[in-house]
Structure 1
Amino acid sequence: MAQFETKDGGDLESSLQGSTKEVTDTVVTPVLAKSFNLFSACATGITTGNAWAVLGGGIIASLYNGGPPGIIYEFATASFFYCFIAASIAELASAIPASGGVYHWATITAGPRYGRLCGWFAGWLNGLAWAFAVAGNCSMTGSMIVYSYALYHPGFTPQRWHVFVCYLIISWLCCFTVMFCQRALPLISRIGSFFIVLGFIITVLVCAIMPSKNGAGYASNDFVWKDWSNITGYPDGFTFLAGMLNGAFAIGAIDCVTHIAEEIPDARRNIPRALACQVIIGFATGFCYLVSMFYAVTDLPFIVNADSICPLGDIYLQATGSRAGAVGLLTLTIAPIFCATIGCYITTGRTFYVLGRDDATPFSKYIGAISPTWHSPLYATLACGVFLTCVGAIYVGSYTAFEAFIGSFVLLTTASYFLAIFPHLLTGRKNIRPGPFWMGKAGPVVNAVACMYIAVSFVIYCFPYTLPTSPEEMNYTSVITCGLTLLVALWWSPSRSPTATAITHIENQPYIKDTMAGPVQAPRKQTKRIRQTKQKSVTFTGSRKVKCDERQQDGCGVCQKSGLECAGYGVNLCWMTDKKRDIQGLRRRQIRLEQSTSPSISDDEINRILSSLDTISTPSRTVSIGPFAIFSKSEHDDNEDLELQASLENSHQTRDCDSEITPSQFDPVDLSSEIFDIIPNESETSHPEILEMDFSSNWESVIAMMDTPNSPTLSYLRGRSLTIYPSPHSELSMPLFKDHKTSTLMYHYKNHVSELLQPVFHPRNPWRTTYLPFALEGCPDLCLVQNTIPSSGVSISLFHSILSSAAFHLRNVMGGSREYHNLGLQHRAKALRALKFALVAPNNSQQYTVYLTAMLSLVTIDTMTGEDSDFPIHLKGCRQLQRPDHASDALDDSSRQVSSICHFLSLLARTTAHELEPRPWTIEGPFFEEPYFHDDDTNIQYMYGITPYLGNLLQKTCQIAEYLAFYQDGEMPAILLEACSALYDEIFSWGIESESFHLISLEEPTMLEIIRYQALAFHSAIAIFYYRAIENSSPVDLQERVGAIWKNLSLAEDLKDAYSCGDKRAAPMSWPAFIAACEATDRQPWVAWWERVQGYSMGNFKRQWKVIQEIWSIMNSDENVVNWRDALKQSGKLVLPI
């Protein structure tokens, strides 16, 4: 049995792209190879549409509705209206190129409330329609083959089972071609398009030439263009509308190309082009084919009354006057229809593959899989072949029933189109963002015309073909359409809710969220602006006017190059001479009104800023207020500045809010705006004795130099901006880093980011004492350190990772600074690149620790950004990293810390995974895996605010839940039930008194209290997770646990605010808050708590809060979802609640 690749929901985006990912991806990550180009895509559309051959194959049904003029005009009218449908589909495909086609579009355009329902019906109806198109092509081809045989065997009487045998052969040939010739499909499409064009040209030429050669002559112009022949019994107007059915069947296969969107490069542009090519060529070939063929018909009543198995063969026989000519033209029709059947199989298989990939079909595990051997949706195509064999069997039993199934193609396809286009129109076309093909203001008109045509034709095509009617001649298409719709609705019923709601995750993919982010505006046309010729005005010196250009650090240099002496003016001036200068940055930047580059400030805020400036009489420090950074120069001498700096440092060391600098002193100048500047002091004097120090062996000395008085003191006050204090003269006159931005980011990481990553202050902070020394070994910008050994790629990766973390945090604090956002992206890309080319296997235990630290630092980047879901990839890499065999078991403190971080993050990731990883219990081995945290690994107390015992307790809970997932549908071992009972007793017998927090010194009682509150909250969260993952029940006391978590975490935050005077530095470990908020019924306290912690400016907190709100929304809208873990799975979001 071949192995199949299925879509992993966790593998969403690569770390390298991060938050800069473009919205050019499809709804889900494609796993099919991009084997089609624009030409082969157009060939697929032309081949699958195959308008002229399909018109000929079903010509007899149209002859009843007006004769030759009726067929020609009805085909032209149907083609005209299908242009509106094609344009609407092309617009949706350009915005959302997805193999599901209307299935995905209907899900998105209908919005979050009705999207799942519309998408469900659109996907199923469209897939069934294409299946019936295959059946129609196979039956037409089989009829032509049997007719050709009968022409040369006069005694042969065609039977329906003869056609059925040909039907089966053609169907399975096409099915196996699609299943096992995936790489040859583009070539087959090109060959098919060649046969279509060749057959069209030869057929038209033969029909145009042969009547004059065999003496039959041509039909009159009136016969072709004017003689209306209505034998249906309906009025002529209604007959004309009903006669458009055959034209719609021929031209209506317009969405076939959209189902190979994942296999076409630049699908957003190429799919609309392929659709246009298909519609234009289909109409042109169909129209010319009809005209030439009817001019060759001389005895129309004979064809209508012959009751032939292939009326097209009779037309060719009249046109050529010979059996060989008729069989030759039929062969030229059979070959294109055979290729078209392959195209229809491609479309049908892709449609049901996408439905299966989203758990919307039976046996979705197989239907939604891609064969790695054949690189095709093997089982989806095979299922279509089996289904079409059953449909073909109906042809033998009842031709009327079979014709009803085939005729429902038009109704089912237009219904699926309607489910995507009509919600798009009703919602004001605002649920998707425009693609390259966007109709702008004409879009609503085009969509409205398409919907009206679909609605009218849907009713008319359900009427009987003729009046009076009989049971054998009745039109049962409406019965088939309604019956199939009812079956699809029953599959959606609550009794099958897991399958019915399986497509919910489509709404939550990154691209879909982006498309539904807000109102859509059509892209503006870029028109060239014509500059007005202005009178050149000059200054009193006779030169042209000047402008200020302070962006240049060394001045503009224009005066010196022109041989003039700079006149001053107190600013750098740029002379606007006619001669072009080779000066960078002289051009003014265009400011777009719709893209504000500065923060908006309300009138009240401006008034408050001005009032605060008025209150400053003799400022003792530099003040930064508002977005324009207004500075007031200090009038005191340097000694007073040093005293102020010392007092600030003492205030941070003692955390005494009653010191001489109190929060009240910040009120006049520290504003609520989150805009701030970082101005480190850069001195240029030389201290040569510093260069003689050996820092390469003692990185602590380098780290200590980051805290010199010339470093900027950054204070995060809750609800206030980051205030900058003066930088007095320092004894260290040489900068530590060559690059100013590196210095800023490194300082910010050491003094702010590292503190945010653990819930309490502690001198053994691993993000400062372990991460930073390892990172400095890979720093290329140190002025003072000259390593004799080249830096390893792992250290370089770690260095760029911590800079990226610092940059992203600064971006968050500064309200989305583009500069720091770009810096974060650049350093993250460099970190990934360096780690990629580093050694695969570490040679010793220290190198192993560095490797592990580098991988974990990538998780830290995700924690700061909150925009990515790459942490499963990084944590998987950490688990797969093998420790050297000869490494010592006695780990140092740094190795223990890094190992504990890896274990704890992996543990939290297991609790929020969409599916628990089933694992069987083996009798040979121990029941529980080796504990992550040993009793002496107490560093987890200050790193995450929990104890080793609680960490191991959560590990056991996850492991038993994974055991239960494996035995969910089978007999459960008795030992597993005993383990559940023992774990229950172990969880609910725990008490805080049994824990020892000896690593937190008694001199820091506040830190000890914070850890106690964090541990109590963590224990209550374990109890909730136990019930949801193991018991899967909702006892009464769960809300008591939720309340206990909120109380303990709130008390911890209150203590930190009092201890740090409002500074947001030590962020809480948020797993208990995430679990409790998801479980809570009284949600308002959690709204306040999560909004409170947003002050830490950590992107992960923002992401968790959004996911919690989405879980609440799902549980509110769907009464069947009572477990927040099921709601998290429906949301499709991955979250690491740390």
Structure 2
Amino acid sequence: MDDNPARRTSATNDRKASIGEHAADADLAKLGYKGELPRSLSMLSVLGLSFAIMAVPYGTSTTMYISLTNGQSVTILWGWVLVSLISLSIAASLAEICAVFPTAGGVYYWSAMMATKDWAKIASWITGWMNLVGNWTVTLSINFGGAQLLLSAISLWREDWAANAWQTVLCFWAIMLICFLVNAYGAKYLDLINKVCIYWTAASVVIILITLLSMARGGRRSAEFVFAHYDSSLSGWPAGFSFFVGLLQAAYTLTGYGLVAAMCEEVQNPAREVPKAMVLSVAAAGITGVIYLLPILFVLPEVSYLLAAANGQPIGLVFKQATGSAAGGFGLLFLILGIMFFAGIGALTASSRCTYAFARDGGVPGSRWFGTTNKQLGIPFWGLVLSTVVCSLLGLIYFGSTAAFGSFTGVATICLSCGYGLPILVSVLRGRRLVKHSTYSLGRFGFIINGICLVWIALAIVLFCMPVAIPVTPSSMNYASVVFAGFAAISFGWYFIGGRKHFTGPPVVQDADPTIRGQAVVADDEKQIGRETSHTDVETKM
């Protein structure tokens, strides 16, 4: 008999965790896979990961030149609100599906399961490659933009200085290496890192808010400027169209929520916790964005001065003018750089899991390596290596175009949007039958919400291939469509070379059935947890 209440409680919690992990693995087996990764992540950790990948203060800062060129205050603030609401609709649509099919395959698995048997293979192939390229390019854009932002700190003291291509690419590679090492050899700390990210980001936003509004050494803008000023003359686009082109700032930032589906096999109750984390992270990101952007607009220097920044990253100059010193500006910039590292680590984590999940079903060449896990490290090591190498090589595009970062953000947004949209489209075309019993069901508003998502995604594909401003030069052109077409060619080429022979899609594919596969298993597992937990409590009292 154990008289220590703390020990009894700890033993009970450990027992619950063990039962929960077993139940999740059993449910995963019903979906066609064997659990190979440790289920060490909590809902708060997944929420932190999603929040880290979106990295609101960092994402809006590195892409600020886009909205400053295309509309300024109205685009920055109200564009953010609009895209936040649309992203919340997409996150809710994906959460509804994720609750039914919680696997690391994420969107490509969902497309296959909801399509008919005749279309399941091609639907999962297209969705899988869209999602994979989106994961790679969002990781690339986060870390490449981080390199540019880090080097821009020098311009706080020397405003005419700008890093050359080699300096930028080498700095980018260094950041990629750090993110790789943390993911490879610090995997056991990822749960802590994701949680710390939430507190770091919240504290950073509060500190920046108070500092900017209390100091404002460069003067303050009027409320009319902050909430109603619109100027698209710098873009060359028609006024109305310019607003939509400027939405890339918000759309790029608010893309990470769907990536966390790749972590489903590392969470104890993924059908409940991962969908919840998706929706909550978008809501939190939307609110964080408004709180962060408002003080920046109130102290915004002359737009022409910001857009003339030699390094292309104006946020440091905003901080410098508001604080009245280069050191003060760097202090605030340091907070953003910290968020960048959280985002880079989190994005590479999600990319490696996405690569692993797609490769184990034969969707990627070399699946015998990339579709395996390293038992000692407890991670898909070769999937991590491939993601790191692909991102590092894509960074070489910068030698051919100084607008490469804009292309990376554009193609990341397009690919992830398409990856999110395809399973939603399949669900709508099949009459939403497979999600009507989801624990996160959208109910009678499902068709309307799904429809809004699909219209936005179709619009986004066109918008984010557009250059930020016209007329364009070879160095300022948006090459998102070129990068997108390049990966599409690789995808189709591999499909005809080997994919159509070896790729069968997810291992469990069935025609649509009103009865949700896996839901009965979830209910049985929950009952089993209750029975075994009660039995354990009785034993500890004896």
TM-score band, normalised by shorter chain: 0.7 to 0.9
Correspondence for 1:271 among 244, 266, 274: 274
- Give the superposition deviation at 1:56: 1.0
The partner residue of 2:295 within 275, 292, 310 is: 292
1:43 matches 2:59: no
Measure how far apart 1:113 and its partner are: 1.2
Question: In 2, distance between residues paired with 1:289 and 1:264?
Answer: 31
Give 1:239's aligned amino acid. Answer: S
Identity %: 25
Answer whether contact 2:300 2:318 (CA < 8 A) is retained: yes
1:479 alignment partner in structure 2: 482
Change (3 A) 1:155 1:120: closer
Q: Is the 8 A contact 1:34 1:264 kept in 2?
A: yes
Matched, 1:316 2:319: yes
State the 1:371 CA deviation: 0.5
Q: Residue in 2 aligned with 1:387? A: 390
Cα 1:44–1:368, aligned 2, differ >3 Å: closer, same or farther? same
Q: State which of 27, 34, 39 in structure 1 corresponds to 2:39.
A: 34
1:529-540 matches, within 5 Å, as none
More helix by share: 2
- 1:281 corresponds to which residue? 284
2:215 corresponds to 1:218: no
Q: Distance in 1 between matches of 2:196 and 2:513?
A: 44
Residue from 256, 260, 268 that aligns with 2:259: 256
- CA deviation after TM superposition for structure 1 residue 157, in Å: 4.9
The alpha carbon displacement at 1:422 in A equals 0.5
Amino acid at match of 1:357: R
Equivalent residue, structure 1, for 2:75: 70
Aligned counterpart, 1:519: 514
Q: Which residue of the partner structure matches residue 351 of structure 2?
A: 348
The answer as to 2:136 corresponding to 1:131 is yes
SS class of match (1:130): helix
Structure 1 ranges of 4+ moved more than 4 A: 21-27, 152-157
| In structure 1, distance between residues paired with 2:27 and 2:75 | 49
Which range is displaced more, 23-32 or 277-286?
23-32
Per the alignment, residue 420 of structure 2 pairs with 417
SS at match of 1:66: coil
Preserved contact between residue 156 and residue 320 of structure 2 (Cα < 8 Å):
no
The DSSP-based 3-state class of the residue aligned with 1:489 is helix
Kept in 2: contact 1:99–1:350 (CA 8 A): yes
Measure how far apart 1:22 and its partner are. 6.0
Measured in 1, the distance between the counterparts of 2:27 and 2:189 equals 31
CA shift for structure 1 position 44 = 1.2
Choose which of 159, 182, 185 in structure 2 pairs with 1:180. Answer: 185
Deviation at 1:465, TM superposition (A): 2.6
SS in 1 for 2:470: coil
Is the Cα–Cα contact under 8 Å of residues 121 and 505 in structure 2 kept in the other structure?
no
8 A contact 2:52–2:194 mirrored in 1: yes
Aligned to 1:159: 164
Shift of the 266–194 alpha-carbon distance from structure 1 to 2, 3 Å rule, reads same
Decide whether aligned partners of structure 1 residues 505 and 152 sit closer, same or farther in structure 2, where only a CA change above 3 A counts: closer
Q: When the two structures are superposed, what TM-score results if normalisation uses the length of structure 1?
A: 0.42
CA distance in 1, matches of 2:41, 2:259: 14
CA distance in 1, matches of 2:421, 2:95: 14
The root-mean-square deviation of aligned C-alpha atoms, in Å, is 2.2
By relative contact order (CA 8 Å, sep 6+), the higher-ranking structure is 2
- Which of 214, 230, 239 aligns to 1:228? It is 230
Are the equivalent residues in 2 in contact too, given 1:99–1:258 (CA < 8 A)? yes
* TM superposition shift of 1:475: 2.3
Q: Name the SS for the 2:203 alignment partner.
A: helix
**In structure 2, distance between residues paired with 1:116 and 1:425:** 18
Where does residue 94 of structure 2 map in the other structure? 89
Q: 1:209 aligns with which of 211, 214, 219?
A: 214
Matches of 1:292 and 1:25, distance apart in 2: 50
Q: Per-residue CA shift, 1:715-750, capped at 9, x if unaligned?
A: xxxxxxxxxxxxxxxxxxxxxxxxxxxxxxxxxxxx
What letter is aligned with 2:230? Answer: W
* 1:107 counterpart (97, 106, 112): 112
User: What is the TM-score of this pair, normalised by structure 2?
Assistant: 0.86
Alpha-carbon deviations, 1:137-194, whole Å to 9, x = none? 1122212221223434679652222222211111111012112222111111112222
Counterpart residue number, 2:204: 199
CA distance in 2, matches of 1:376, 1:139: 24
| AA in 2 matched with 1:440 | G
1: CA distance, partners of 2:384 / 2:79? 34
Q: How far apart are residue 464 of structure 1 and its match?
A: 3.2
Alignment partners' CA distance in 2, 1:227 and 1:218: 14
- Tell me, in whole angstroms, the C-alpha distance in 2 between the residues paired with 1:181 and 1:469: 44
User: 2: distance between equivalents of 1:224 and 1:153?
Assistant: 29
Q: Greater CA radius of gyration, 1 or 2?
A: 1
**1:302 counterpart (291, 297, 305):** 305
Which residue of 234, 239, 243 maps to 1:240? 243
Deviations 1:974-1007 (A, max 9, x none): xxxxxxxxxxxxxxxxxxxxxxxxxxxxxxxxxx
Aligned-partner residue type, residue 487 of structure 1: I
Q: Do the aligned partners of 1:24 and 1:268 also contact (CA within 8 Å) in 2? A: no
1:1032-1051 matches, within 5 Å, as none
Residue of structure 1 in register with 2:8 after alignment: none
C-alpha distance after superposition, 1:626-654 (max 9, x if no partner): xxxxxxxxxxxxxxxxxxxxxxxxxxxxx
SS of residue paired to 1:255? helix
Instruction: Structure 1: state its 5+ residue gaps.
Output: 1-16, 522-1138
Task: Give the count of matched residue pairs.
Answer: 493
2:532 matched residue in structure 1:
none
Quote the residue 1:856 is aligned against. none
Instruction: Give the Cα separation in 1 of the matches to 2:159 and 2:228.
Output: 37
